[in-house]
A and B are shown apart, each in its own frame.
Chain A
Amino acid sequence: MGILKLENVSYRYKDAPKDSYVFKDINYEFEQGKIYAIKGKSGSGKTTLLSLITGLEKCTEGNVLYDGKKLRKINLDNYRNTDIGIVFQSYNLLPRLTAIENIILSMDVSKVKVKNKKQKALELMKSVGLSEEQAKRKILKLSGGEQQRIAIARSLSYNPKIIIADEPTGNLDKETENDILKIFKSLAKDENKCIIIVTHSQNVCNEVDEVYELASKKVN
């Protein structure tokens, strides 16, 4: 049984006409140990679907089920700080904090039991290719690629079962993109995580286990 299940999921904007859906009746299942890519043209609703999966948005119809439980019925704060890790396209890191502080903050919020949070954060940063010196820098003093790595490290910091990434390599060069894909593959295979990547990149689609083409499902 999949860790995450989309059950007749439909979405339309609140101010849109009643029959104007961004997407309708999506049924899909995501399993642990696999990497998924959600592909689609601009405006196809990729980021919206991701928002529904992360609980930041509610389905107009249908349900998203995590571990067999409807997201509507569970505590979404706990879901977001414990069960899923989100890597945003625009990183969404706190600029007033340093790189390492952003990661430790996520551990604090999730209440994950870690003896030495600083040590764990440094290890995570090292695993995504960042140095201790970079860890002490404020977010705005890091490049886009470095911020993306920190966002990934942050999403891993509390060991969630699912990692959802929105265009994680969209702002990165080819080499960095490959590095990050390696990280995701390793997480899926070695740590049994479910990785869901929203992407435009064919290179990413070629590396994942399953590709979900959203455009073909769109109902207007």
Chain B
Amino acid sequence: MYILKNSLVSIIRNKGRNILIGIIILVIACSTTVTLAIRNTASNLVENYRESHDIIASISFDRKQLTNNFKGGEDNLKDNIEAFNNIESLNLDTVKNYGESDYLKGYYYMYSTSLNSDTLSKASDTYEYEVEDKQTTTSTSSTTTGGNSGMPNGRPGGGGEERRTTINNNTTTIITRTKEKFESDKNLTGDFELDGYSSYDAMTDFVNGTYQVTEGEMISDFEALECVVSSELAILNEIEVGGTITLKNSNTEVTYEFLVKGIYKDNSDSNDVVKMFSSSANKIITGSGVIEKIVAEDSTAITNITPSFIVKDEESIEKFTEELKEKGLNEYFTVNTNLDELQNATKSIENVKTFASTFLIITLIISSIVLFVINMINIRERKYEIGVFRTIGVSKFKLTMQFVLELLIVAIIMLMIGAVCGSFISKPVGNSLLQNEIESNAEEEEQISNNFGKGQMPMQYNQTAKIEPINNIDALVDITVIAQLVGIGILLTFISSLASMISIQRFSPLTILKERS
């Protein structure tokens, strides 16, 4: 107890010395508070950002690989198309198999197919109709020749018509023949694209606001025949929420009656004046279970599946990719993640955090040295005092404690004042640093854009911009910062008290007193 009393008396009776130490500690405390607040807030922001933005791995078609395998020349086009058609697409079972991985937090997917309808009009700016016109006269006759006769492995598609007339002696016959166009069999064929989502997470267009339910609500049962239709389709066919629409599988003639739960609008900006309707006009949103039912009833149904795998962490990306290859992922598919986008979004704040951490370390090193030197000078001035204390029987330990306590009391008071000052300035300083960093990054990106010879960013960068970057740090002095500050204060006190600790251990009281005498 008397150690504390002595410490307090010593602090009060040696105002000049303690004010000097106090000012130094105040400056250290203030700058440490600011850097800690910025660093911690930046860490939390990045962490929260990472938590709220999962690392999503997707499987995409590697067109480059396909191109590399192309055979040159027009004659080989058929072979090339056949090669393309032979690439095994992803199917639901494969995706579910891929999803069973220890490196994933989960997965979801969009399962699509298409259906037709006898009752709904497709939103289309092309009006197609057939005219069958056969004319026969006795004076002449005609026979159409030429045109496409269809290609193996292809399927008939809509296209132009060609008429050819052969004139015979007395009869003229005009025969209209539809041309057959060969195209990939991987395209969905129905009028209405049915997008079945496995969960709300899978509805990324709704999550990021590209689509928005404006009437009614999103489907709630991913297995039931519920749907959300586009506003364009709703207007065109006078569909209302709560009503039903009937779609038909042209292959099996099976009809499906969907309950319309909601109507969505497409918020994506489209400057494409060539098309009357948006690309999502014929898109009907439903659950993946519905698509599974349709596929179960029609094994020939053409489907498309877009899986998204939520990877546990950065380290798991490579392992997951390896696992997919082991599970038989085709060489024509690659695994892509949004990691770069996530890292870009937090790049500025990460830089600020790094700067704050570096500044903190430098501050602590310099302040430790300064305090150590001041304490060393202080101890030399107080040698006599140490000698007296030792001769009256104060142990080295207690004496050391008294000196440490003196510095600790001054440090704690100044740390508190420093924390208050730091809390006021950490927010503007943090935001100023971040803005500088953002501007610096923006200039860098603009330079890259200019390097591409464009006024706007190349495609890759536009995609990156889909993830909103952090542009406000609002550094906060919270309990963590205070705790860290106290920890640093205690550490600094002990480091700077090393001078007194060593001196007290080394000094012989008799020698000190003799010197004084």
Contacts and interface: CB of A to CB of B under 8 A. Distances in A.
Interface of A: 51, 54, 56-57, 76-82, 86, 88-90, 92-94, 96-97, 101, 105-106, 108-110, 154
Contacts of A86: 391-392
What are the 5 closest A-B residue pairs judged by CB atoms, nearest first?
A: A81-B393, A108-B2, A80-B393, A96-B13, A77-B395
B388 to A, nearest CB: 5
Interface string B486-517: 00000000000000000000001110010011
Contacts of A90: 513, 516-517
Contacts of B388: 92-94
Contacts of B1: 108
Interface of A is mostly: helix
17 contacts: A51-B510, A56-B391, A56-B508, A57-B510, A79-B393, A80-B391, A80-B392, A81-B392, A86-B391, A93-B388, A94-B388, A96-B14, A101-B9, A106-B392, A108-B2, A109-B394, A110-B393
A48 B127 CA distance: 121
Given A80-B392, A90-B517, 13 more contacts: A77-B394, A80-B393, A81-B393, A92-B388, A92-B513, A94-B385, A96-B10, A96-B13, A97-B9, A105-B2, A105-B392, A108-B2, A109-B2
A57 B14 CA distance: 31
B19 to A, nearest CB: 16
A51 B508 CA distance: 12
B513 to A, nearest CB: 6
A51 B517 CA distance: 15
Contact of A88 (B5, B13, B391, B394): B391
B9 A96 contact: yes
A113 B387 CA distance: 25
Contacts of B9: 96-97, 101
B268 interface: no
Nearest to A84: B393
A127 B200 CA distance: 92
Interface in B104-141: none
Contacts of A77: 393-395
Interface of B is mostly: helix
A82 B393 CA distance: 8
Contacts of B10: 96
A155 B196 CA distance: 95
Range of interface residues on B (Cβ < 8 Å): 20 to 34
B153 interface: no
B184 interface: no
B336 interface: no
A106 B392 CA distance: 7
B391 A108 contact: no
Contact of B387 (A76, A92, A105, A106): A92
Nearest to B509: A56
B171 interface: no
Contacts of B6: 105
A88 B393 contact: no
A105 B391 CA distance: 13
A168 to B, nearest CB: 15
Given A94-B385, A96-B10, A109 B510 contact: no
Interface string B4-17: 01100110011000
A110 B391 CA distance: 12
B26 to A, nearest CB: 24
A90 B516 CA distance: 9
Contacts of A78: 393
A109 B393 CA distance: 7
A215 B325 CA distance: 99
Nearest to B5: A108
Contacts of B2: 105, 108-109
Contacts of A54: 391
A220 B85 CA distance: 114
A171 B511 CA distance: 22
A151 to B, nearest CB: 10
A182 B13 CA distance: 36
A160 to B, nearest CB: 10
Nearest to B14: A96
Nearest to B10: A96
Contacts of B508: 56
A218 B387 CA distance: 28
Contacts of B14: 96
Nearest to B393: A81
B392 A88 contact: no
A109 B389 CA distance: 9
B392 to A, nearest CB: 5
Contacts of A76: 393
A101 B2 CA distance: 12
A54 B392 CA distance: 10
Interface in B304-352: none
Nearest to B395: A77
Contacts of A81: 392-394
A154 B2 CA distance: 16
A125 to B, nearest CB: 17
Contacts of B513: 88, 90, 92
A205 B51 CA distance: 88
A57 B390 CA distance: 12
A76 B392 CA distance: 10
Nearest to A56: B510
Contacts of B395: 77
B508 to A, nearest CB: 8
A90 B514 CA distance: 9
Contacts of B517: 89-90
Contacts of B5: 108
A154 B392 CA distance: 9
A154 B391 CA distance: 12
A198 to B, nearest CB: 14
Nearest to A92: B388
A199 B193 CA distance: 115
A112 to B, nearest CB: 11
Contacts of B510: 51, 56-57
Contacts of A108: 1-2, 5
Interface in B375-431: 385, 387-388, 391-395
A58 B387 CA distance: 17
